[in-house]
């Protein structure tokens, strides 16, 4: 085997890393749900570790894909779909563990989930595709989701984190609705409203390799 062949094989294997991380996150979501259903020994600690691991795979799959110049629309759409499944599994798991928390906060939960569903409806109606803006504010919101769900899983309560998560979630969902209304064509990785305006004007936007490259 020649050095060139080995180099090509290594490059091919490296390009599989983002997909590996995405599918790992998908598996983590189902395992979290499974643990919440069975409640084996130390299941809360295991779920917490998997939530954190899932978030880390979400961070690094995009960074690595951009570093390898394989961050295609198809890959970003897949990333968004996997994210949705992972967090839905985690949310259901938290409900199975601490249903009373969700019952007590059902109004805010309904509003937040409805806002999340609405942006997907808008995107499908306008572009026939799911949302994959990966806006900066939404990335920050994801951190609050993680903190809130971990607190719920461990303690069956969350006040400060949940309120931050709720209000930031609403603000970030409104931002995405505005971005979708501004864009003329479906575009992935739009950091914010200002960038959506530039794209609508046919201008290029500055991207960061770590976040939206």
212 is a domain residue: no
How far apart are alpha carbons 85 and 81 in whole angstroms? 6
pLDDT at 5: 47
Tokens coding 209: 């390799």
pLDDT at 65: 86
pLDDT at 131: 93
Q: 10 Å Cβ neighbour count for 9?
A: 11
Structural domain total, the chain: 1
27 is a domain residue: yes
pLDDT at 112: 97
Does residue 121 register a pLDDT over 90? yes
User: What letter would DSSP give residue 70?
Assistant: -
Tell me: the pLDDT tens digits for 87-97? Answer: 999 999 999 99
Q: Where residue 28 sits, what CATH number does that domain have?
A: 1.20.120
How far apart are alpha carbons 17 and 12 in whole angstroms? 9
Task: Tell me which residue of 188, 106, 86, 192 sits closest to 146, measured CA to CA.
Answer: 86
**pTM of the complete model beyond 0.75:** yes
Does residue 50 register a pLDDT over 70? yes
67 is a domain residue: yes
Tell me: the pLDDT tens digits for 146-167? Answer: 999 999 999 999 999 999 999 9
How far apart are alpha carbons 5 and 52 in whole angstroms? 37
Task: Tell me which residue of 63, 85, 80 sits closest to 18, measured CA to CA.
Answer: 63
pLDDT at 208: 63
How far apart are alpha carbons 14 and 129 in whole angstroms? 28
Task: Tell me which residue of 147, 166, 22 sits closest to 80, measured CA to CA.
Answer: 22
87 is a domain residue: yes
Does residue 67 register a pLDDT over 90? no
Q: Residue 206: which pLDDT band, with cuts at 50, 70 and 90?
A: confident
Question: Which carries the bigger pLDDT value, residue 12 or residue 126?
Answer: 126
Enclosing domain of residue 131: 3-200
Tell me: the pLDDT tens digits for 72-120? Answer: 888 888 999 999 999 999 999 999 999 999 999 999 999 999 999 999 9
Lowest-confidence region among 61-65, 131-135, 186-190: 61-65
Diameter over CA atoms, the chain: 65
Does residue 170 register a pLDDT over 60? yes
User: What letter would DSSP give residue 16?
Assistant: T
- How is 141-202 classified by DSSP, letter by letter? HHHHHHHHHHHHHHHS--SHHHHHHHHHHHHHHHHHHHHHHH-SS--S---SHHHHHHHHTT
């Amino acid at each position: 085997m020649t050095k060139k062949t080995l180099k090509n094989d290594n490059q091919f294997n490296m390009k599989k890393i983002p997909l590996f991380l995405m599918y790992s996150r998908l598996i983590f979501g189902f395992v979290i749900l499974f643990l919440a259903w069975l409640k084996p020994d130390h299941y809360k600690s295991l779920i917490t570790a998997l939530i954190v691991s899932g978030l880390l795979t979400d961070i690094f799959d995009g960074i690595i894909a951009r570093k390898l110049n394989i961050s295609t629309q198809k890959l970003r759409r897949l990333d968004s779909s996997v994210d949705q499944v992972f967090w839905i599994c985690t949310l259901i798991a938290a409900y199975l563990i601490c249903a009373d928390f969700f019952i007590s906060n059902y109004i805010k939960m309904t509003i937040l989930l409805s806002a999340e569903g609405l942006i997907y409806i808008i995107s499908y109606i306008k572009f026939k595709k799911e949302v994959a803006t990966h806006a900066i504010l939404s990335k920050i919101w994801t951190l609050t989701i993680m903190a809130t769900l971990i607190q719920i899983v461990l303690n069956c309560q969350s006040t400060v984190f949940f309120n931050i998560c709720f209000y930031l979630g609403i603000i970030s969902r409104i931002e995405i609705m505005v971005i979708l209304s501004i864009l003329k064509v479906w575009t992935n990785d739009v950091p914010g409203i200002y960038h959506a305006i530039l794209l609508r004007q046919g201008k290029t936007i500055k991207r960061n390799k770590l976040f939206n490259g």
